[in-house]
Amino acid sequence: MKVTLRVWRQPGPDATGEMVSYEVEDATPEMSFLEVLDTLNERLILTGDEPVAFDHDCREGICGACGVVINGQAHGPERTTACQLHMRSFADGDVIDVEPWRAAAFPVVKDLVVDRSAFDRIIGAGGYITAPTGSAPDAHATPVPKPAAETAFEHAECIGCGACVAACPNGSAMLFTAAKVVHLGALPQGAPERESRVLDMIGRMDDEGFGGCTNTGECAVACPKGIPLQAISSLNREFLRAARKSA
Amino acid sequence: MGRPLLTVTVMALTTKSASKPASDKRTSGKRTSGKPAPEPTRPKRYPPSLPALLWRSTVGKKTVLAVTGLIMVGYLVAHLVGNIKIFFGAEEFNSYGHWLRTLGGPVLHYEWALWMIRVVLVAAVVLHGVTAYQLSRRDIAARPVAYVHKRRRASYATRTMRWGGVILGLFVVWHILDLTTLTVNENARTGHPYENTVATFSTWYGNTIYITAMLALGLHLRHGFWSAVQTLGAASPARERALRVVTDTSALVLTGGFISIPVAVMTGVVN
């Protein structure tokens, strides 16, 4: 199948960028979207042009490294990561727009690569437990009720890809922050730092220049891991509880 | 002896140069060329007081937005219940208007209760507007470069919250000048709310302004009420369905209820 890719090309962080059209004629329906970019890059290298820079690592949808906005949707039309999106989701002759995540807190490094270290700093502000836990504990050494374990696991699925920020009209990181706060808050290990965690993580999130939540729900629709929108309500509840207790 | 001193000076210089311009760069959407992002400036008092904590945080400001919004929704319900009395004739409606002024008596002086309500409402409107404005500014700044491929995001009610809110704010000003101070209402007489209301809805512009604003109100509530509950952390998967029903019902009842009055005047049911 033949597709036309219109890709955002930007040589560096401070350079001006533009959309550049490329035709890829040898794409096949079973190719992943990133393989089409690889195919394009091979050709660009052979002709002496600069290949398109994009982030990727595991290519099996579990690491969160890849992520581009395809036709205005974070990770494209399927609810998965860009690496697990296949060309069968497109038709022969399609024109596909490929853009980087757009957010003040995610500055463009080059082409489709953005700097997502703001996420690392949010986690660094409290998205962990400080108790030394040693090696993996014995099963049931710390009893965790089944519903709590389910909640924790559901929210621990976040891979930090940043699709929520890219999809949100306000470039908000609420769903990402909520996933970690709800994950750790559901477990007994997370209880001692329950208040400081949510206050520090939200403080850092605001400092990084992410927007606020207007409950549009775009984040949860874009999330490849299905973090529910309700997580944000839980985050708000945790914040208000912590604010009451610590102020 | 010289070396440690030098190290200290260099460190002091690096911290100074790394801390300031980086934050400006980040907000303008550019990358901080390899330098680590600055540590957040800690508030002077830690932990800060509850109002300071709420006002500094986006989540806290949203809380103020939600609570003031719910106060106004509560007022609108009472306002509608009162307005419906217009269907029972001039005497009942006008005596209700008089009762509002004597509310709380004989402990409270004439109109004191009404003024207390007005103070709370003005505070709610101002805080709602200020927080909405500040949060919107921040939200717009957080997406400095728009996507080339445009796609419609969120529902119509969600997308019109900002301009819908501005329309409602302007309406409130007109509504007070029209039926409270009677400044812009020709043929209006103090103490005759029934006759004044009929006078307003006997003009084409009175009906147009009012009905347009009430439709904007319905849209604003359709997203706003649900969103407020979500912001206050009271939403849960089990309550989601009920919450949607309450939101849609209250938006419909309030809009329909308020619009019924100009329609009644236009059709001659109330005259």
- What is the per-residue pLDDT across B136-173, written as a single tens digit (0 to 9) for each? 999 999 999 999 999 877 788 899 999 999 999 999 99
Angle at B154 between CA B153 and CA B155, to 5 degrees: 130
Classified by CATH at the fold level, domain A117-246 comes out as Fumarate Reductase Iron-sulfur Protein; Chain B, domain 2 (1.10.1060)
Collect all residues of chain B within an 8 Å Cβ-Cβ radius of residue A238.
233
Q: What does the pLDDT read at residue A43?
A: 97
Residue B34 lies in a domain: no
Average the pLDDT over A66-91 and give the result. 96
3-state secondary structure chain A: CCEEEEEEECCCCCCCCEEEEEEECCCCCCCEHHHHHHHHHHHHHHCCCCCCCCCCCCCCCCCCCCCCEECCEECCCCCCCHHHCEHHHCCCCCEEEEECCCECCECEEECCEECCHHHHHHHHCCCCCCCCCCCCCCCCCCCCCHHHHHHHHHHHCCCCCCHHHHHCCCCECHHHHHHHHHHHHCCHHHHHHHHHHHHHHHHHHHHCCCECCCCCCHHHHHCCCCCCCHHHHHHHHHHHHHHHHHC
| pLDDT above 80: residue A69 | yes
Q: Which of the residue ranges A145-159, A196-210, B234-248 would you say has the lowest mean pLDDT?
A: B234-248
Residue B99 lies in a domain: yes
Residue B16 lies in a domain: no
Collect all residues of chain A within an 8 Å Cβ-Cβ radius of residue B62.
212-213, 236
CA distance B222 to B268: 31
Query: pLDDT-based confidence at A206, cuts 50/70/90?
Result: very high
The CATH 3.10.20.30 domain(s) of chain A lie at 3-109
Residue B29 lies in a domain: no
Q: What does the pLDDT read at residue B41?
A: 58
Do the Cβ atoms of B29 and A104 come within 8 Å?
yes
Which of B12, B25, B222, B235 is closest to A209 using CA atoms?
Answer: B25
- Return the number of other C-beta atoms located less than 10 Å from residue B271's C-beta: 10
Do the Cβ atoms of B233 and A237 come within 8 Å?
yes
Residue B187's CATH number: 1.20.1300
Query: pLDDT-based confidence at B22, cuts 50/70/90?
Result: very low
- Beta pairing partners, A96: A5
Q: What does the pLDDT read at residue A110?
A: 97
The CATH 1.10.1060.10 domain(s) of chain A lie at 117-246
Residue B42 lies in a domain: no
How confident is the model over A113-163, as pLDDT tens digits?
Answer: 999 999 999 999 999 999 877 788 788 888 899 999 999 999 999 999 999
Query: pLDDT-based confidence at B42, cuts 50/70/90?
Result: low
- Record the pTM: 0.88
> Distance (Å) from the C-alpha of residue A121 to the closest C-alpha of chain B?
9
Identify the closest residue of chain B to A105 by CA–CA distance.
B26
Residue B39 lies in a domain: no
What range defines the domain where residue B80 resides?
51-144+153-267
Query: pLDDT-based confidence at B271, cuts 50/70/90?
Result: confident
Q: What does the pLDDT read at residue B36?
A: 58
Q: Which of B148, B161, B220, B240 to mutate to test the interface with A (most CBs of A within 10 A)?
A: B148
Do the Cβ atoms of A102 and B53 come within 8 Å?
no
| pLDDT above 60: residue A224 | yes
Q: What does the pLDDT read at residue B188?
A: 84
Q: Which of the residue ranges A127-141, B223-237, B250-264 would you say has the lowest mean pLDDT?
A: A127-141
> Residue B237: enclosing H or E segment and its boundaries?
none
CA distance A191 to B78: 43
Classified by CATH at the fold level, domain A3-109 comes out as Ubiquitin-like (UB roll) (3.10.20)
B82 or B46, higher pLDDT: B82
| pLDDT above 90: residue B213 | yes
Closest in A99, A103, A206 to B58, CB measured: A206
Burial of B239 (0-12, 13-18, 19+ CB in 10 A): middle
Do the Cβ atoms of B62 and A212 come within 8 Å?
yes
The residue type found at B153 is: R
